[in-house]
Amino acid sequence: MIRRILVTGGAGFLGSHLCERLVHDGQDVVCVDNLFTSQKTNIAQLLCRPNFEFIRHDVTHPMFLEVDEIYNLACPAAPGHYQYNPIKTMKTSVLGAINVLGMAKRVGAKVLHASTSEVYGDPTVHPQPESYRGNVNPIGPRACYDEGKRAAETLMFDYERQNGVDVRIVRIFNTYGPRMHPYDGRVVSNFIRQALAGEDITLYGDGSQTRSFCYRDDLVEAMVRMMDRPPGFHGPVNIGNPGEFTIRELAALVVELTGANANIVQARALPEDDPLQRQPDITLAREKLDWEPTISLRDGLARTIEWFRSVDLGAFRAPTPNY
């Protein structure tokens, strides 16, 4: 059955790949994005498709559309972007969720909300299961994103309990791949950009902090499976690759795969509230979605590096002051 599907944040890194997947599956897709951190070129290949529509709109303002499903991805997701205007980031998470849920209530649409592993903060439990309630600093420089996403999860479940809206929540761990914004401040994009430019690879802290890296195709597959599940399971469910790597190991792999003649140097202190460990427990995803990642970090990085080589990095815009 053909469904009319709204993707907020649909021109972003993950949103554009999700739109592409849904369009290729034959669904009728409406992409909404304000193009703050995203690029219209991410969806250029879809603009000529009869089952794709792009609307430039900010989700902090109400939307009035008739749709069957909503994937809510709208929010700056990289530290360099969400800390640029923290008040706006919080508004995007909270007001965006309210506007999406209000529309879903009116038209009877299902909502899949893209939450984040950042709801766990700097965890005291490792790896992180969905039952862990987190260790978040509510007044720190990352709180606009961490607490905004936590508040959005609260809204999702309150609309489900009070109004019967069919909501599904995925908590996304570090995801990477082609179409990442080269200047988003994420560790993968930073390292690849530095290596290709022949610069030193700069670490925050001593590089012993860990992350788990999920390739974009694995992530999109999990989101589609979560949306397509029968009603009854709302999540939240962790989506990420349980393989755990130190940041120094990631840097060494980027140097190897790019063939760069680059040194790995400790250049900056670890940012405030930056998590020391991050690894998803994906037991629930395996059980409920029959899902686990299939693409290794080595293979995914090779594909991502190839994309970075193919684009003009100077064409990417930085956040604009009027955001």
Return the active site residues: 145
Give DSSP secondary structure letters for 169-228: EEEE--EE-TT--TTS--HHHHHHHHHHTTPPEEEETTS--EE--EEHHHHHHHHHHHHH
Separation CA 59–CA 111 (nearest Å): 14
Name the helix (H) or strand (E) containing 97: helix 86-107
Residue for token digits 């879903």? 104
Place of tokens 């430039």: 56
In degrees rounded to 5, what are phi and psi of residue 7? -120, 110
- SS3 of residue 160 by DSSP: helix
- Structure tokens of 196? 């290709």
